[in-house]
Structure 1
Amino acid sequence: MRAAVRGRVLLPGDAGFDAARRPWNLAVEQPVEAVVEAADADDVAALVRYARSAGVGVATQPNGHGATGRTGGAILLRTRRLDGLEVDPVARRARVGAGVASGRLQAAAAPHGMTGLPGSSPVVSVAGVALGGGLSWFGRAHGWVADSVTAFEVVDGEGRRRRVDADTDPELFWALRGGGGDVAVVTSLDLALHPAPHLYGGRMLWTAEHAPEVMDAYRQITAAAPDELTVWLDLLHFPGADPMVAVDVTHLGTADEACDLLHPLDRLARPLSDGRATMPVSELGAITAEPTDPGAGLSRAELLTDLDDGAAKALLADPIAPLLSVQIRHLEGAFARRSDSPHGPLTEPYALYMFGIPTTPATADAVAGKQSAFADALPISGRKPFTFLNPDETAANAFTPEALTRLRRIKTRHDPHNTFRSNFPANR
Structure 2
Amino acid sequence: MSNKLNDLRNLVRGRILLPGDDGFDKARRPWNLAVEQSVPAVVEAADAADVATVVRYAHARGLAVAAQPNGHGATPDLDGAILLRTRRLNTLEIDPAARHARIGAGVSSGSLQAAAASHGLTGLPGSSPVVSVAGVALGGGLSWFGRKHGWVADHVTAFDIVDAEGRQRRLTADAEPDLFWALRGGGGSFAIVTALELALHPAPHLYGGRMSWPAQHAPDVMDAYRQITATAPDDLTLWLDLLHFPGSAPMIAIDATYLGHAATARTLLSPLDHLPRPFTDSRRPMQVTELGTITAEPTDPGAGSSRGELLTELDDRVAKTLLADPIAPLMSVQIRHLGGAFARPSETPHGPLTEPYALYLFGVPTDPATAEAVTARQRALTDALPVRGRKPFTFLSPGETPADAFTPAALDRLRGLKRHHDPHNTLRANFPILS
Partner of 2:3: none
* 2: CA distance, partners of 1:381 / 1:412: 29
Q: String of CA shifts for 1:176-231, please: whole Å, max 9, x gaps.
A: 00000111000000000011100000000100001000000000000000000000
Please tell me whether the aligned partners of residues 30 and 72 of structure 1 are also in contact (alpha carbons under 8 angstroms). Answer: no
User: 1:156: which partner in 2?
Assistant: 163
Whether 1:165 aligns to 2:172 is yes
CA distance in 2, matches of 1:3, 1:404: 39
SS at match of 2:118: helix
| Distance of 1:373 and 1:42 partners within structure 2 | 48
Pairing 1:95–2:109 present: no
Distance 1:176 1:251 in 2: 30
Q: Distance in 1 between matches of 2:372 and 2:167?
A: 45
Aligned to 1:220: 227
Q: 1: CA distance between counterparts of 2:170 and 2:329?
A: 47
SS at match of 2:9: coil
Q: CA offsets, 1:22-54, max 9 Å, x none?
A: 011111110111000000001111111001011
CA distance in structure 1 between the partners assigned to 2:370 and 2:197 by the alignment:
43
Match of 1:413 in 2: 420
Deviations 1:296-338 (A, max 9, x none): 1111111000000000000000000110000000000000000
Matched, 1:360 2:367: yes
Taking the TM superposition and a 5 Å limit, the aligned residue runs for 1:135-150 are 135-150=142-157
Aligned sequence identity (%): 73
Q: What letter matches 2:35 in structure 1? A: V
Alignment RMSD: 0.6
Aligned to 1:249: 256
5+ residue gaps in structure 2? 1-7
Kept in 2, the 8 Å contact 1:4–1:50? The answer is: no
**How many Å separate the matches in 1 of 2:364 and 2:80?**
28
Aligned residues: 428
* Residue matched to 1:297: 304
2:88 aligned with 1:49, yes or no? no
Q: Distance in 1 between matches of 2:152 and 2:406?
A: 17
Q: Given residue 14 of structure 1, which amino acid in structure 2 is its aligned partner? A: D
SS at match of 1:287: helix
Q: What is the identity, as a one-letter code, of the residue corresponding to 2:135?
A: G
Partner of 1:314: 321
Does the aligned pair in 2 maintain the 1:127–1:189 contact within 8 Å? Answer: yes
Alignment correspondent of 2:353: 346
Equivalent in the alignment of 1:3: 10
Match of 2:19 among 1, 4, 12: 12
TM-fit CA distance, 1:417:
1.3
- Unpaired runs of at least 5, structure 1: none
Note the C-alpha offset of 1:413.
Answer: 1.2
TM-aligned CA deviation for residue 72 of structure 1: 2.6
TM-score calculated relative to the size of structure 2: 0.98
Do the aligned partners of 1:130 and 1:178 also contact (CA within 8 Å) in 2? yes
Structure 1 stretches of 4+ with a deviation exceeding 2 A read none
Partner residue in 2 for 1:104 = 111
Displacement of 1:159: 0.7
**Post-superposition offset of 1:388:** 1.1
User: What are the residue-to-residue correspondences of 1:14-413 with 2, within 5 Å?
Assistant: 14-413=21-420
2:129 and 2:169 mapped to 1: Cα distance? 28
For structure 1, which segment, 368-377 or 308-317, has the greater mean C-alpha deviation from structure 2 after superposition?
368-377
SS at structure 2 position matched to 1:354 = strand
- Aligned residues of 1:200 and 1:258 also touching (Cα < 8 A): yes
CA separation in 2, counterparts of 1:4 and 1:159? Answer: 14
Letter in 2 for 1:31: S
- Aligned equivalent of 2:4: none
TM-score normalized by the length of structure 1: 0.99
Measure, in 2, the Cα distance between the counterparts of 1:359 and 1:157: 38
Once the two structures are TM-superposed, the CA of residue 71 in structure 1 deviates from its matched residue by 1.3
C-alpha separation in 2, matches of 1:380 and 1:91? 40
Distance in 2 separating the partners of 1:4 and 1:52: 15
Partner SS state of residue 413, structure 1:
helix
Q: Match of 1:150, SS?
A: strand
Structure 2 residue identity aligned to 1:389:
L
Tell me if structure 2 keeps the 8 A contact 1:33–1:72: no
Q: Is the 8 A contact 1:235 1:327 kept in 2?
A: yes
Aligned mates of 1:123, 1:78 — CA distance in 2: 15
For 1:325-376, what per-residue CA distance to the aligned partner results, in whole angstroms no more than 9, with x for missing partners?
0000000000000001100000100000000011111111111111111101
